[in-house]
Structure 1
Amino acid sequence: MRSLSLCILLALLVRPASAFEVDHWPDGAFTGQPTRLTWPAPAPLAKPLTLCILYPHLRDAYWLSVNQGMVEEAKRLEAKLRIHEAGGYGALAEQRKQLRQCVDEGSDAILLGAVSYGALADAIRQSPLPVFGLVNDLAPGLAVAQVGVPWYQMGWRIGHWLAERHPAGSQPVSVALFPGPDSGSGTALVESGFIDAIRDSAIRLVTTARGDNSREIQRTLVQQTLARHPGLDYLVGGAIAAEVAVNELAQHHADRPRVLATYFSHGVQRGLLRGKILAANSDQMREQGQLAVAQAVCLLRQPDATETQCPRVMGPPILTLSAPLSAPEHSLSDGDFRPVYRVGLAPTPP
């Protein structure tokens, strides 16, 4: 009996949250100052809904963590998921096709991790299904609701963290920025946020290297930058750029430049733990996945719900860290988790 009670307690501890601490933007866009609130997520569905989920890709820790959060919340709510990945941030044509495919498959709504901020506008407007923004911001008027964080803030917060350590008048330092793909998604916002944050400091941005979030491309960019700027003090980049930079520096037994990450991954967590990464943001991507499913279910069940009942633009608070996360389960997928493409549906035939 005692062991049964312990099993029940452990199950309750690891189950997805039924209430979330969120930042809420009541004006319908990720601008201005959000309100922090505790949002009680919806109860399980009496009648199942099928959500069609579109990701840019599932080849890095970020989207894998989003995937696990969505799977967890779908199981809690007894919703069905059908998941597709486009193949990368250049796959506009594929994601347009997948928007139509969601309709053909008989889904109730689309949760779109868009490969572009505005280039999918016509395809979204033509869809008869409600479209919810997932992680990546969409141009105004395209989504019924959105879960995410302001990517400007992701750049600004890391820049501000660094600028506080190198204020104007102190010894000048140099930095290279690796914001991610040049795709019109969040990259430009990360860049502008970082640049604004360091503007009145002793930090000099010597180069910006944009490229797809593949390890090969980011490794090449890092190698080229280190060769061209041997005296570099800091390297600031997305999780993959930060991870490959740590590896490159280790191979050359170098302790400079110091590395910072604009977003989070398992490798970034290890880098913080080992002192190889100085600071990093986490936008709690696993919880973003949970929130996205909960938000869609809430609004599909209550389309006329108030902002208090079903917030239209929200996301978890951004964490800026100089030490490893003590509770990474809101940010990172479990070590043994693998991509899931169907929840509550028969697997796709080979």
Structure 2
Amino acid sequence: MRSLSLCILLALLVRPAVAFEVEHWPDGAFIGKPERVQWAGPTPLPKPLTLCVLYPHLRDAYWLSVNQGMVEEAKRLGVNLRIHEAGGYGAKAEQRQQLRQCVEEGSDAILLGAVSYDGLAKAIKQVPLPVFGLVNDLAPGLAIAQVGVPWRQMGWRIGHWLAERHPAGSPPVSVALFPGPDSGSGTALVESGFKDAIRGSAIRLVITRRGDNSREIQRTLVQQTLVRHPDLDYLVGGAIAAEVAVNELAQHNASHPQVLSTYFSHGVQRGLLRGKILAANSDQMREQGRLSVAQAVCLLRQPDASEAQCPRVMGPPILTLTAPLREPANTLSDGTFRPIYRVGTNEANP
């Protein structure tokens, strides 16, 4: 009887694996149509692993939401995290140095939110640790696994939504596109996806403005564009461009151009709620944070696991929304959440 009671107590103390709804690319790249699966993530570790995590930056809602998801899953699984940010998408030298720092810190693996698709190749190959791609895609052969979504689809889905609204033969409309940083690994993919989706429709892309994801730079680009193209029908951009566009239009009491966002933020959520943003994508970035930690634990524990056990290329489904998220916990960080750089032993966060 005592033995049975002990077994029941242990079962209650051990937290079960969670089930993730993911899109899985079994061929090892974000190409083609994925399969939608329920993936049973790993159970908590008996002995902690240490993951070194590198972000491009932590100055916007996107990466802050990734950060909270990673922290949540690390605490669930008993993982130590050491997190560093490069300072922006131009900081290749800083991220190369941080790759070396991960090794010096005695980490078991690196989760890399890369500032460049292939500009870190030499530094990655010199690192004697497994590297996992985080959010931003990496060139083939640089990571043993990847969590993210195809950024080309992020551009295509918004373009397709607009193209269905303005098909060939309907009155022409004009659009300005703000895809993101010129050096950002996803910018060219967003741009090409959007252009492909609107091809053959009544949509005319009149200007494309690229720039760093800072509010000051995006505000300047939006202001300049609105002055040069006062008759725009639509402004399509990343979350920061969409947010500053809404503010600019409000200051001038203007209802045009209408605003769409290729990805999500707390400001985009508010814009959808107030009818100031017409449509937006969510790639469920907080869930990507959870998945990235779970994937690394799964493969570090079972390096030879099957794709069904530990999918190598996966991410949450992309959502295209015309109304605010009812349940934002898989997309957005909590309103009170602040960046966390250390999880586990000797935690020290600013």
Stretches (4+) displaced over 2 A: 347-350
User: Equivalents in 2 of 1:123, 1:296: separation in Å?
Assistant: 20
Paired position in structure 2 for 1:111: 111
Asked if the contact 1:81–1:345 (Cα under 8 Å) also holds between the matched residues in 2, the reply is no
Superposed CA deviations along residues 8-31 of structure 1, whole A, max 9, x for unmatched, are: xxxxxxx99811000000000000
Question: Following TM superposition, by how much is the alpha carbon of 1:345 offset from its aligned partner in structure 2, in angstroms?
Answer: 2.9
- TM-score normalised per structure 1: 0.95
Superposed CA deviations along residues 264-323 of structure 1, whole A, max 9, x for unmatched, are: 000000000000000000000000000000000000000000000000000000000000
Paired position in structure 1 for 2:218: 218
Q: What RMSD in Å do the two structures reach over aligned CA positions?
A: 1.4
User: Equivalents in 2 of 1:349, 1:324: separation in Å?
Assistant: 32
**For structure 1, which runs of at least 5 residues remain unmatched after alignment?**
1-14
Question: Following TM superposition, by how much is the alpha carbon of 1:120 offset from its aligned partner in structure 2, in angstroms?
Answer: 0.3
**For structure 2, which runs of at least 5 residues remain unmatched after alignment?**
1-14
Q: Summarize the Cα distance change of 1:282–1:267 in structure 2 as closer, same or farther, 3 Å threshold.
A: same
**Matching residue's letter, 1:180:** G
Q: Report SS of the residue matched to 1:240.
A: helix
User: Equivalents in 1 of 2:196, 2:33: separation in Å?
Assistant: 17
User: Equivalents in 2 of 1:220, 1:118: separation in Å?
Assistant: 29
Q: Summarize the Cα distance change of 1:349–1:317 in structure 2 as closer, same or farther, 3 Å threshold.
A: closer
User: Equivalents in 2 of 1:257, 1:103: separation in Å?
Assistant: 49
Tell whether 2:114 aligns with 1:151: no
Superposed, 1:37-56 pairs within 5 Å as 37-56=37-56
Superposed, 1:2-21 pairs within 5 Å as 18-21=18-21
Q: Report SS of the residue matched to 2:179.
A: strand
Q: Report SS of the residue matched to 2:209.
A: strand
**Matching residue's letter, 1:73:** E
User: Equivalents in 2 of 1:178, 1:346: separation in Å?
Assistant: 42
Tell whether 2:259 aligns with 1:247: no
**Matching residue's letter, 2:61:** A
Superposed, 1:300-319 pairs within 5 Å as 300-319=300-319
**Matching residue's letter, 1:112:** L
Q: Summarize the Cα distance change of 1:181–1:16 in structure 2 as closer, same or farther, 3 Å threshold.
A: farther
Paired position in structure 2 for 1:264: 264
**Matching residue's letter, 2:321:** L
Paired position in structure 1 for 2:84: 84
**Matching residue's letter, 1:237:** G
Greater displacement, 339-348 / 81-90: 339-348
Q: Report SS of the residue matched to 1:210.
A: coil
Tell whether 2:174 aligns with 1:177: no
**Matching residue's letter, 1:154:** M
Paired position in structure 2 for 1:207: 207
Tell whether 2:339 aligns with 1:339: yes
Superposed CA deviations along residues 241-275 of structure 1, whole A, max 9, x for unmatched, are: 00000000000000000000000000000000000
User: Equivalents in 2 of 1:16, 1:237: separation in Å?
Assistant: 40
Superposed CA deviations along residues 183-213 of structure 1, whole A, max 9, x for unmatched, are: 1500000000000000010000000000000
Asked if the contact 1:180–1:187 (Cα under 8 Å) also holds between the matched residues in 2, the reply is yes
Question: Following TM superposition, by how much is the alpha carbon of 1:348 offset from its aligned partner in structure 2, in angstroms?
Answer: 5.1
Q: Report SS of the residue matched to 1:180.
A: coil
Paired position in structure 1 for 2:10: none
User: Equivalents in 2 of 1:341, 1:17: separation in Å?
Assistant: 25
Paired position in structure 1 for 2:328: 328
User: Equivalents in 1 of 2:196, 2:211: separation in Å?
Assistant: 21
Question: Following TM superposition, by how much is the alpha carbon of 1:346 offset from its aligned partner in structure 2, in angstroms?
Answer: 1.6
User: Equivalents in 2 of 1:200, 1:54: separation in Å?
Assistant: 40
Paired position in structure 2 for 1:8: none
User: Equivalents in 2 of 1:349, 1:338: separation in Å?
Assistant: 10
User: Equivalents in 2 of 1:103, 1:344: separation in Å?
Assistant: 18
User: Equivalents in 2 of 1:240, 1:292: separation in Å?
Assistant: 24
Greater displacement, 340-349 / 262-271: 340-349
Aligned residues: 337
User: Equivalents in 1 of 2:140, 2:187: separation in Å?
Assistant: 18
